[in-house]
Amino acid sequence: MAEHCSPTFAELTHELGFSCEEAGGLVEFRNPFALENWTLPVLELTIVVGAVLALWYAIVRLRRHGDPTNLVLWFGATAYLFVIEPPLYFPAAFGIEDHVDTMFAHNVFTVDFLWGRLPIYIIAIYPLMATMAFCIVRMLGIFRRYGTLIGATCVGFVHHAFYEIFDHLGPQLRWWEWSIDNPLNQPMFDSVPMGSVVVFAALWPMSLAFCVQYFVGRHVDEGRHFSGVELTWRTIVIGLLASVGTFLLPLPATVIGMSSTTVRGIVYGLELAVLVVVAAIVMVRQWRELRQGTATPPQYEDRFVQRFATLYLVVFAALWIASLPDFFAAVNGETTNGDPIGNLWYTAACFAVAIASVVATFTIPRRQAGPDATVSAASTVAS
């Protein structure tokens, strides 16, 4: 699709080692052993398998126990993906090339869609990450106790931790390449744009979680059942409104930082700091009170998320360890191959938050009897 190979995209793909003019068709398959390096198929396999298992588990919960929340979350995240991503890949086709130049290019993986623009793992990572973050917060009983907005804030916090572990590693391992000359990617936080650190890692999952809980989750918690038609239109609305939320939540940084990337970065940082402080206080307080028996034990348990989130952290710890020799040999923020490195200390903090979040779900009491116990038992059977 050479007519859509903008100069910026062509340059990025050249740096990644392939030609956008030769990337073919709506779908393309490649030998996983012939990719840029061994980490690409490992990443792809981990994310795609996780997303498929998350979908299977969501279907099981709906069919066996009448809880559609996970399924709506999965498809809501996917709907959001197809609203947000295509204009970023083909700005000219959407008539926005004068305002939005190419921001990044993915490397080619085993399975790619849209002329090398959309690897299958990107389709999978949206619902997988959203499922892990949302269900961890739900397992801690935060939605029920603190409401939809605070619960969604905590989802953004947990998602941010899991996502930044991935986000700060990708450029070094050539999973993708950012266009650092694009003003929309400024300011940069080492190898990652602040927009990615704040908007895509924290604010969009917060927006999605708010919509899922508002339109479906809180009603399910109250015992309501939805028809197939109701779930379909609610899922579509969730995907659309989550996209609107992603525009509205970072608006302070967008407006205030119009004349200065430094100011934009500061406002982004302040927005993230508020989210982190609120979520950390709520999650620590809830965990402590659950442990002390002064809070009502949650009625929701998700063995899949507990196990797969643990696997995710193990896999990414291994990928980070494998990348450390080149990381420490980097000069002026670039490896000997010319690839930018992320921030190791920030990633370590994100690992700590992600690990603590998963451990918290294993160390709280569960409701064993009463009318709500079936929900907990349901997840145990399905897992």
What the block records as the tokens of 209 is 């979680």
Cβ neighbours of residue 264 closer than 8 Å, sequence gap 6 or more: 186, 187, 194, 253, 254, 256, 257, 258
> Which pLDDT does position 383 carry in this prediction?
35
128 membership: H or E segment, kind and range: helix 120-139
Query: Which three-class secondary structure string do you get for 47-86?
Result: HHHHHHHHHHHHHHHHHHHCCCHHHHHHHHHHHHHHHHHH
Q: How far is CA 130 from the centre of its chain?
A: 6
> Which letter, b or e, does each residue of 170-207 get, where b requires 16 or more Cβ atoms within 10 Å of its Cβ?
bbbbbbbbbbeeeeebbbbbbbbbbbbbbbbbbbbbbb
Report the distance separating Cα 90 and Cα 117, nearest Å. 9
Residues pairing with 118 in the sheet: 113
Global pTM reads: 0.93
DSSP H helical ranges for 173-329: 194-195, 204-212, 218-221, 228-248, 251-256, 261-292, 303-328
Report the distance separating Cα 276 and Cα 282, nearest Å. 10
Residue 55's nearest CA partner among 65, 45, 69, 70 is: 70
Report the distance separating Cα 4 and Cα 2, nearest Å. 5
pLDDT tens string, the chain, 383 residues long: the values are: 555 677 888 888 888 888 877 777 789 999 999 999 999 999 999 999 999 999 999 999 998 888 999 999 999 999 999 888 888 787 777 777 767 778 899 999 999 998 888 999 999 999 999 999 999 999 999 999 999 999 999 999 999 999 999 999 999 999 999 999 888 899 999 999 999 999 999 999 999 999 999 999 999 988 898 988 999 999 999 999 999 998 899 999 989 988 899 999 999 999 999 999 999 999 999 999 999 988 888 888 899 999 999 999 999 999 999 999 999 999 999 999 999 999 999 999 999 999 999 999 999 987 654 333 334 333 433 33
> Which pLDDT does position 370 carry in this prediction?
38
What the block records as the tokens of 284 is 């620590």
Residues counted in the chain: 383
Report the distance separating Cα 162 and Cα 146, nearest Å. 23
Report the distance separating Cα 115 and Cα 181, nearest Å. 23
> Which pLDDT does position 382 carry in this prediction?
39
> Which pLDDT does position 90 carry in this prediction?
79
What the block records as the tokens of 97 is 């090339």
> Which pLDDT does position 342 carry in this prediction?
97
- How far is the CA of 351 from the CAs of 49, 109, 133, 163, 356, in angstroms? 21, 26, 14, 10, 8
> Which pLDDT does position 2 carry in this prediction?
52
329 membership: H or E segment, kind and range: none
Q: Are 245 and 207 in contact (CB under 8 A)?
A: yes
> Which pLDDT does position 351 carry in this prediction?
98
What the block records as the tokens of 295 is 């809070």
Q: Are 53 and 309 in contact (CB under 8 A)?
A: no
